[in-house]
Structure 1
Amino acid sequence: MNIQTPSGNAAGFLHRYAGLAERLPGAGVEAVRRLREAAAETLAAAGLPSRRVEAWRYTDLTPVLRAEFREALTPVDEAVELPPARAERRAVFVDGRFRADLSSLDGLDAAALSDVVGDVAGRLNTVASASQPMVTLNTLLFEDGLVLDVAEGVDAGRLELLSLASGETESTIHPRHLIRLARGARLVLLETAASPSGARHLHNPVFEIEVAEAAVLTHVRVQREAAGAYHLAHLGVRVAEGGTYDGFVLNAGGRISRSETHLALLGPRATAHLNGAQLVAEGQLADTTTALDHAAPNCASRQTVKTVLSGRSRGVFQGKILVRREAQKTDGYQMNQALLLSEDAEIDSKPQLEIYADDVKCSHGATAGALDPDSLFYLRARGIPADTARAMLVRAFLQEAVEIVEDEVARDALDEAVQGWWVGHGGEAA
């Protein structure tokens, strides 16, 4: 493919790759170079998705495609104001680049991807398929990320992963994170993505996660980026026999945000939780898309996603549970609930079950509605101001989802983000 003269809706990204190819990490590593060239060919041929693609029919990327993104130019030693620490150890990325001076990884087998990309090239793109468009884009342009391995039987405690944007106009960030837990290992990963008010950047993170036998990963993601930013995340997760992936994602920022998770339960008695909440305000779109593959018997999965929408906003939930023929004794549950605070808000919900086994217990459902007027009247009749009453009912609606998170520190982070969103969008503290 001639990347010097690309065309199509991905032309801008391909032009950028052509200019950066020799400066990107792994440029001299044959395996990495082949991955990037394959990604360039895929983007040139297929481009980025439009609403004609079924998986993207509810999420229009036109604003992303029209933006003129460029490389973030933040100096690696620029002073950055960090939020209060929630764990003793943290990995900090600013504009997608690892900041060793702001990070503390003592006692962990961890490194910046840019430093070890040649050593871990074989792990790249082994979980998330290159047919996924945002993974393909990330493969083309990734510069850094966290490479973390937790050894057999080790409880690594909590680790914060902070992804901060400097606020440069229409910069683009493509971190690639590789996380692997060995047999019986444990980790609580608290991830936060944030950017200053007024920022207009594209954040396109990709996670490749492996959870081995009897290992447990608790992964809480809080996305609080600026209202003009674009956040398009992809998680590829593989869980082995007896392993657990306990995930929760809170989307509370971004003009367009999409959290897409592809998770495979590959061994008996593996467990997955893919829970979350979306807080969507005027002019924003938030999309939670999941594909859960039950590929082994006696596995369980739980998914509850709640969406609160205000103003002229749009929420999307697409969740698919696939139960393969060999996955007998599957126990799967999926629920999506939406609370519309405005007549102009819209929710598109598409829960799906695809079952080939005959001894399973699976259910799914979706609901949408407004605040209960009787409950609101009850609170107002007791002297509670209208905004406070509404806040109390919204918090009560979200509480069921947030309470699912067992780690207290992670739950506090979610509560803080929910409260900050409500206050920031015209409400009062409950």
Structure 2
Amino acid sequence: MSAPLAVTLEPFRKQLEGVSGQPQKTALEALHHTGLPDRRVEDWKYTSLRFLAGSVFHKPGKNYDSAKARAALAALGLAEGAVAELPRLVFVNGHFVADLSVTKGLFACSFYTADKAEPGSLVRSDREPLAALNTVLAENGVVISVPEGIDAGQVLLVSLGQADSDAVSYHPRHSVHVAKGGKLSLLSVQAGEGHYLHNPVTEVFVAAEAELRHVTLQAESDAAANLSTLYAQIEERGNYDSFVVGIGAALSRHEVHACLAESFAQVHINGVQRLAQTQHGDITSVITHAAPDCISRQTVRNVLDDRARGVFQGKVLVEQIAQKTDGYQMNQALLLSGQAEIDAKPQLEIYADDVKCSHGATVGALDDDQLFYMRSRGVPEGEARQILIDAFLEEVLELIGDETAREVCKTVIARRFPVSEEGA
């Protein structure tokens, strides 16, 4: 191993020792070849993994603090109301916790006991180093399978991190299969306490005429990193409707690779980031139109305060066969501080000649005239600012089709960013 690579992988050295299994060994070879990405890699030019340097990430044990886990569920609003009645799969430090889960007949099993020869057919460990690291170190995860023609309703997938004196890293591998004509609404919630790395990989398969609504609420610890990679394949007339809300973690990246594999498939990859202090949040997507008559939509809005930095990289790739593609992409940012920063790189790569594709990006600040108008009518400055911020986010949050998931996201955002008393 060369010296630069040894430094790059040093935080995981203890966990990488003694790797067994051919898929894991193959992924480790790819990881040795590429190393973890730095900013010289084009897709990582705006996001640095320096946050991981200087730490030694240990393999977490299966023991956990039950009281803290239950308190975390309550703080996230998952222990009351309609969401408390949902089937629930809970992981702590990457390990499934049956005592906190309520399966209610849900067909789910550990990823590595599932009936499959390889740990995932969509993952490209040779191209995505974080996915390679996941393949090497993954020990647990869940397979959710919706049978043909069945509406499975709503399911809650919760990941909680617990780190005390030692930093830990965990790398769950999840897989969601919705068979022909099936339906599922999945709410993934990620949170925790302490210094840890959560590096999940999720594979999504949406069969013909099936529908999956997938909302991810990332509210990790302020001392944590969340580096998430998701792969989705959508077949004829299937619909994958995804939304990510990023408000937590010191460093986060939500990377999506979606392939519209057959005609008349649809994908929506929307999201919001609400960041402050020195948080860094990255939403990166690659949407491949590999069949004709498909639709893709992506709208992402960022609210950035203090010295927070947001990143949006969205690529729409239209292959030659994908005639009559309809693709739309928009990124908008609201900067609340002169030190906040947004980096936006929307991309179109088109090889077909009968398409309708567009992209755009806007950056702005709060409207002084609107602030003055509300303050002149007795609205305190802090409340006036919050009203404008909420209005900016509300339009996109309404794209969350599942009402329960939408209300959970709004509640958690409001708790993390209460109305300021400034100017009251």
TM superposition score normalised by structure 1: 0.91
Compute the displacement of 1:107 (Å): 2.3
The 10-residue stretch of structure 1 (407-416 or 166-175) with the greater mean CA deviation from structure 2? 166-175
Which deviations, in whole Å up to 9, do the C-alpha atoms of 1:195-252 show, x marking residues without a partner?
13xx110000100110000000000000001111100000000000000000000010
Distance 2:384 2:116 in 1: 52
- Aligned equivalent of 1:420, options 372, 397, 415: 415
Which deviations, in whole Å up to 9, do the C-alpha atoms of 1:139-188 show, x marking residues without a partner?
01001111111100000000000001123341101010011111000000
The SS at the match of 1:254 is coil
Residue 9 (structure 2) aligns with: 10
1:195 has 2:192 as partner: yes
Distance 1:387 1:128 in 2: 45
Residue 354 (structure 2) aligns with: 359
Residue 150 (structure 1) aligns with: 146
Compute the displacement of 1:404 (Å): 0.7
1:64 has 2:52 as partner: yes
What runs of 5+ residues in structure 2 fail to find an aligned partner?
A: none
Which deviations, in whole Å up to 9, do the C-alpha atoms of 1:82-114 show, x marking residues without a partner?
333414200000010001121122222211225
Contact 1:11/1:44 (8 A) holds in 2: no
Distance 2:410 2:318 in 1: 34
What runs of 5+ residues in structure 1 fail to find an aligned partner?
A: 22-26, 28-32
1:174 has 2:168 as partner: no
The SS at the match of 1:415 is helix
- Aligned equivalent of 1:383, options 375, 378, 393: 378
Residue 256 (structure 2) aligns with: 261
Residue 271 (structure 2) aligns with: 276
The SS at the match of 1:232 is strand
The SS at the match of 1:7 is helix
- Aligned equivalent of 2:301, options 299, 302, 306: 306
Contact 2:298/2:329 (8 A) holds in 1: yes
Distance 1:349 1:105 in 2: 40
The SS at the match of 1:189 is strand
Compute the displacement of 1:8 (Å): 4.2
Q: Structure 1 stretches (4+) deviating beyond 6 angstroms?
A: none
The 10-residue stretch of structure 1 (310-319 or 63-72) with the greater mean CA deviation from structure 2? 63-72
Aligned residues: 408
Distance 2:368 2:396 in 1: 22
Distance 1:121 1:224 in 2: 34
Aligned Cα root-mean-square deviation (Å): 1.7
Contact 1:280/1:286 (8 A) holds in 2: yes
Which deviations, in whole Å up to 9, do the C-alpha atoms of 1:283-307 show, x marking residues without a partner?
1100000000011111011100000
- Aligned equivalent of 1:406, options 393, 401, 408: 401
The SS at the match of 2:418 is helix
1:185 has 2:182 as partner: yes
Residue 226 (structure 2) aligns with: 231
Compute the displacement of 1:58 (Å): 0.3
The SS at the match of 1:66 is coil
Contact 1:74/1:166 (8 A) holds in 2: no
The 10-residue stretch of structure 1 (161-170 or 150-159) with the greater mean CA deviation from structure 2? 161-170
Contact 1:391/1:427 (8 A) holds in 2: no
1:160 has 2:156 as partner: yes
Contact 1:263/1:293 (8 A) holds in 2: yes
1:44 has 2:40 as partner: no
Letter in structure 1 aligned against 2:140: D
Contact 1:128/1:262 (8 A) holds in 2: no
1:288 has 2:297 as partner: no
Letter in structure 2 aligned against 1:279: R
- Aligned equivalent of 2:87, options 86, 89, 104: 89
The 10-residue stretch of structure 1 (233-242 or 84-93) with the greater mean CA deviation from structure 2? 84-93
Distance 2:35 2:358 in 1: 36
Closer, same or farther: CA 181–159 of 1 in aligned 2, 3 Å: same
The SS at the match of 2:389 is helix
Compute the displacement of 1:138 (Å): 0.3
Compute the displacement of 1:76 (Å): 5.5
Contact 1:8/1:47 (8 A) holds in 2: no
Compute the displacement of 1:11 (Å): 3.4
Distance 1:251 1:120 in 2: 32
The SS at the match of 2:417 is helix
- Aligned equivalent of 2:314, options 319, 322, 329: 319
Distance 1:77 1:422 in 2: 27
